[in-house]
Structure 1
Amino acid sequence: MPTPPHAIGFTLDPLDRISEKRDDEAFVARLRDDASTRFLLFANTVPLFRRADGHDPLFAADEAAKLGAPRESVLLGRDAGERALFACTFDTSAEAAADALGGVPVEGIELRPVAMQGLVAPLLVSALGEARSMLDWHRRHRFCANCAHATDSAGAGWRRICGNCGAQHFPRVDPVVIMLVTDGERCLLGRQPQFAPGMYSTLAGFIEPGETFEHAVYREVLEEAGIRCTDVRYFASQPWPFPSSLMIGCLARATEAEIVVDEKELEDARWFTREEVVAMLDGTHPQGLSAPKPFAIAHHLLKAFAQGGAL
Structure 2
Amino acid sequence: MVYLPVDPDGRFPVAAGRPVYFTAPEVVDHHRAGWLAAGVRPGEVVAFRADADAVAAEMTRPGVSAGTARSFAADPVVGRALALLRNRERVRFDPLDGSELTYADPEGRVGTGAGGHEVFPRISPAVIGAVIHTGADGEPAVLVAQNRLRPGYHSLIAGYVEAGETLEAAFAREVHEETGRRVRDVRYWGSQPWPVSGSLMVGMVAHTDDREAVAAGDGEVFDVRWATRAQLGELTLPAPGSIALRMLDAFAAGELA
Normalised by the shorter chain, which TM-score bucket?
Answer: 0.7 to 0.9
Q: CA deviation at 1:47?
A: 4.9
CA shift, 1:95, in A, is 0.6
- Cα 1:269–1:160 change in 2 (3 A) is same
Closer, same or farther: CA 113–176 of 1 in aligned 2, 3 Å: closer
8 Å Cα contact 1:227/1:258 also seen in 2? yes
* TM-superposed deviation, 1:233: 1.6
Correspondence for 1:71: none
1:143 corresponding residue in structure 2 = 93
Matched, 1:242 2:199: no
Distance 1:193 1:40 in 2: 32
Matches within 5 A, 1:1-311: 37-44=1-8, 46-49=10-13, 56-61=19-24, 64-66=25-27, 85-90=44-49, 92-96=50-54, 109-112=66-69, 114-115=71-72, 125-156=75-106, 157-163=108-114, 165-184=115-134, 185-197=140-152, 199-259=153-213, 260-277=215-232, 280=233, 285=234, 289-311=235-257
What's the TM-score, normalizing by structure 1? 0.67
**Distance in 1 between the 2:230 and 2:55 partners?**
49
Q: How far 1:236 sits from its partner (Å)?
A: 1.4
Cα gap change, 1:142/1:133 in structure 2, threshold over 3 Å: closer, same or farther?
same
CA pair 60-98 structure 1, distance change in 2 beyond 3 A: farther
8 Å contact 2:42–2:80 — kept in the other structure? no
Deviation at 1:160, TM superposition (A): 0.7
2:34 is aligned to: none
**Deviation (angstroms), 1:89:** 1.5
Structure 1 stretches of 5 or more lacking a match?
A: 1-36, 68-78, 117-121
SS in 1 for 2:13: strand
Q: How many residue pairs align between the two structures?
A: 240
Distance in structure 2 (CA, Å) of the matches to 1:83 and 1:265: 35
Give the fraction of aligned pairs with identical amino acids, expressed as a percent. 30
Residues 56 and 160 of structure 1: CA distance in aligned 2, closer, same or farther (over 3 Å): closer
Which structure 2 residue ranges, 5 or more long, are not aligned?
29-37, 135-139
Q: Name the TM-score, length of structure 2 as normaliser.
A: 0.79
Paired with 2:155 and 2:199, the residues of 1 have a C-alpha distance of 18
Higher helix share: 1
- The 1:237–1:276 alpha-carbon spacing in structure 2 relative to 1, beyond 3 Å, is same
1:23 aligned partner:
none
The answer for the alignment partner of 1:28 in structure 2 is: none
Q: Does the 8 Å CA contact 1:261/1:269 hold for their aligned counterparts?
A: no
- Whole-angstrom CA distance in 2 between matches of 1:40 and 1:273: 41
Counterpart CA distance in 2 for 1:168 and 1:212 is 27
